Amino acid sequence: MSLLKKIAGETAIYGLSNVFARLLNYALVPLHTRVFPRDDYGQLGYLFAYTGILMVILTYGFETAYFRFSQKQENKSSTFSTAFISLAASALVFTSILMFFAPAVAEWIQLPGKKNYIYLIGGILLFDVLSVIPFAQLRLESKATKYAGIKILNILVNVILNTALLWIIPFGFSILPENAAEIKGLDIGLILMANLAASLITFFVLMPSVFKQNLKFDAQLWKKMWSYAWPLLLVGIAAMINEVLDRILLKFLLEGDQEYVDGQIGIYNACYKLAILMTLFTQAYRMAVEPFFFRAAEEKNAKTQYAKLMNYFVAGGALIFLGVMFFIDLFKYLIPNPDYWEGLKVVPILLLANFLLGIYYNLSVWYKLTDKTIFAAIISIAGAGLTVIANLILIPKIGYMGSAWATLGAYALMTLLSYFLGRKHYRVPYNLNSIFITVLIAAAFFALDLFVFSKIENISLLYGLRILLLFVLGGWIFVQFRKEIEVK
């Protein structure tokens, strides 16, 4: 089987499951924006920003360490059990402390009186952390279908409970969905309850794989894993800073009353999701390719394969960028409330940012295989530093647009640093000419559409020309891939 077919197959499974799951999850956006005002929706994004950062801290790079040391250990069960016990113990301690101080935490994050939110977030974090290593085992063993099925189950439970709690039950009491927020006790806490239930069910579905292991903690192995993983913890924290800190900083840096500030966060949070196709592609690709990096490391042509993977990703990312931007007038209806459309201007910036993030994931092979994860920490901290500085400067001036540009700048910096450091420590023969031409064609077509085609009033002609451009780019990509030699 060729490299392209193998990676494309696993990416398709991860991707289709993520697409299906995200689309189901995205189906909640119209419901949430109908039931809750913009400021409440902004609070939800604000809370999940904290959750994302805490999730990275509580897993402290042990998922990647599990991949790495499972390749080295004759007894994979020892690696599994050591990683699982470590994460479970630390998560139990942290979430217990978090729940004990819930009232104070709620005050600190400017959600006074919302300690119930903290309790629910604590439960979600606990069960999600407990599921990390069992999920990693499925990826390591290339059980993409099972992995995808459990992920989809998680989202189905979440969507069904959201629909029941926010629509069906209120409707049963003869209350229209748009007035449901007036019901006493109906707030975003119900969304968190649905998430907690989904995380709990996922945990129980994965538990049989844990019970099959001879759970025994290996202290010496843990020290090696921690030595490998702690820089990745910094990487993960920096990555979440790049991804979600903007919601938190918007809360503190935007001028205006609380309703306006939370509303701006809500607009940004909703339009951020229109970059979903690039995000899905990047995440699915990463899930498929990260275990492959380690599996192929001992092969003679490993670096050649890594170079080909970069070409595949760039090609797919370029097509997705143009596809979304050419049809943004249709994609915007995924957000049915026109009040949010003022934020559509962030979409191309965020699409490009996620595209660069995917390139960075490809480049990351050098520090993962050479065990020089300290460089990953340095690169990520540099990106996070730029994110913070740029947000602090730009948010007071241009609001959430500043957050979008800060994200793009951070990922661009990380990509450049990783590329030049990788050339020194683990040189991969990337086909820069092919990559450059693909990106140049996509950029030229985007500029042509923005400055010329977008002025065409005939919709049929406009979309026809855009589809033609996509076919031209697709043709160029086909010519490149046709020359690829299959790797048996």
Nearest C-alpha neighbor of 232 from the set 65, 90, 425: 65
Residue 293 carries which side chain, given as an amino acid letter? F
- CA torsion 293-295-300-303 (nearest 10°) is -10
Render 17-36 in DSSP notation, one character per residue.
HHHHHHHHHHTHHHHHHHHS
Pair of tokens at residue 44: 């939800």
Given this model, what pLDDT does residue 185 score? 41
pTM of the model: 0.73
Pair of tokens at residue 373: 């994860």
Spatial separation of the C-alpha atoms in residues 467 and 487, rounded to whole Å: 33
Contacts of residue 252, defined as CB under 8 A and 6 or more positions apart, other chains included, come to: none
The secondary element (H helix, E strand) that includes residue 312 is helix 302-326
Count of residues for the chain?
Answer: 488
Given this model, what pLDDT does residue 67 score? 82
Given this model, what pLDDT does residue 487 score? 41
Nearest C-alpha neighbor of 291 from the set 4, 7, 3: 7
Spatial separation of the C-alpha atoms in residues 276 and 405, rounded to whole Å: 17
Given this model, what pLDDT does residue 307 score? 83
Torsion 255-260-265-271 (CA) sign:
negative
Pair of tokens at residue 452: 């010329």
pLDDT tens by residue, the chain, 488 residues: 455 455 555 555 555 555 566 666 666 776 776 677 777 777 888 888 888 889 989 998 888 888 888 876 566 678 888 999 999 999 999 999 999 999 999 988 888 888 899 999 999 999 999 999 999 888 787 777 788 788 888 888 988 898 888 777 765 554 445 554 444 445 788 889 999 999 999 999 999 888 887 788 889 999 988 988 887 788 788 878 888 888 889 988 888 887 888 888 888 888 887 777 787 778 777 776 776 777 776 777 778 888 888 888 899 899 999 998 888 888 887 777 777 788 889 999 999 998 998 899 888 888 877 878 788 888 888 999 999 999 999 999 999 999 999 999 999 999 999 999 988 888 888 888 888 998 999 999 999 988 898 888 888 898 899 999 999 988 888 887 775 534 43
461-470 long-range contacts (CB < 8 A, ≥24 apart) are: 463/326, 463/327, 466/326, 466/327, 467/326, 469/322, 469/326, 469/445, 470/319, 470/322, 470/323, 470/326
Given this model, what pLDDT does residue 174 score? 47
Given this model, what pLDDT does residue 335 score? 74
* Cβ atoms of 62 and 133 closer than 8 Å: yes
- Provide the 8-state DSSP code for 64: H
Contacts of residue 283, defined as CB under 8 A and 6 or more positions apart, other chains included, come to: 14, 18
Pair of tokens at residue 243: 């991804």
Spatial separation of the C-alpha atoms in residues 346 and 379, rounded to whole Å: 25
Spatial separation of the C-alpha atoms in residues 163 and 24, rounded to whole Å: 11
Nearest C-alpha neighbor of 376 from the set 365, 385, 387: 365
Residue 436 backbone phi and psi in degrees, to 5: -60, -45
What angle do the packed helices 115-130 and 132-140 form, to 10 degrees? 30
The secondary element (H helix, E strand) that includes residue 278 is helix 276-295
> Tokens 């402290």 identify what position?
60
C-alpha distances (whole Å) from 215 to each of 74, 80, 171, 456 are 16, 8, 48, 65
